[in-house]
A and B are shown apart, each in its own frame.
Chain A
Amino acid sequence: MSGGTWSPRPPRRLVRFGLAAALALAPAAQAAPRTHKIVIVQMAFGPMPAGLRVGDTIVWVNQDIFQHTATARDHSFDAVLPPKATARVRLSKAGTIAFYCRFHPGMTGKLEVAK
């Protein structure tokens, strides 16, 4: 070991913190379905949410004055989004799902969905 800062046992308060963190995370580990938002503004899909899982729901929020769609390349979903409207899509399968807007094909994104 170099430097001599290594100690064989972590300080007590770190242990306590680790325990508290584990407890805090426990309910999430049960993976209750969650809802995530993806905002469309200025002809683009906003940041992709992280930590998506099968059973979660995406709420698509269209803030543009134009009609858009959120259409999966594998046809697993096709949400039509009139101007200023929202639509919900439940994620039914795991994997990388590429999607686009049928009307404005330059608008694209990818969902990373875990089991």
Chain B
Amino acid sequence: MRMKLASVAFALALAPAAAFSQAAKPTDPQIAHIAYTAGEIDIAAGKQALKVSKNAQVRSFAEEMVRDHTAVNDQALALVKKLHVTPQDNPTSQALKKKADAQLASQAKLSGAAFDRAYAANEVAYHKTVNSALQKTLIPDAKNAELKSLLQTGLKLFTEHQHHAEELAAKIK
């Protein structure tokens, strides 16, 4: 009974972030891979926005996403190198990537204000998903203190990005 409750609690904790649901707790090499992948996804989305959008506010936001996530990912790469950890691909990373690819493909069909709205809305949703995963699984499950600390920085950054994305989405409605 206790086992069952624990697994229900775990499933509930993961519920808002469907892409993150995974049977077993992720290991540090997997967590590093998930965090890095999450950053890369937002960098790719930002680059697409910089290619398509002509809206100054959207472009400035996209530049910020590319700049900030590149900075965190560079830090993450330096950390895994220092710790002699090889980030390990896993079902969560794959699910995230698959979902993001589909999103990029659907946004690629849009242009002008329709693209801007879709990009901003997805940035809000995406940062919410990642924040929830960081808070509920990635940070609590990370064993290495430096990895945990970098994830905490990531959470602060993603939270700020979520606020900024919400502001942007409201402005370009």
Contacts and interface: CB of A to CB of B under 8 A. Distances in A.
B153 A105 contact: no
Interface string A76-115: 0000000100000000000000000001111100000000
B171 to A, nearest CB: 12
A67 B64 CA distance: 8
Contact of A83 (B71, B159, B160): B71
B125 to A, nearest CB: 18
A38 interface: no
A106 B159 contact: yes
A104 B65 CA distance: 11
A42 B151 CA distance: 12
A1 to B, nearest CB: 57
Interface residues of A, number: 11
Nearest to A103: B64
Nearest to B153: A42
A10 B23 CA distance: 77
Contacts of A83: 71
A43 B160 contact: yes
A20 interface: no
B75 A105 contact: no
A65 interface: yes
Given A66-B157, A103-B160, 13 more contacts: A42-B153, A42-B156, A43-B153, A43-B156, A43-B157, A43-B160, A65-B71, A83-B71, A104-B160, A104-B164, A105-B163, A106-B159, A107-B160
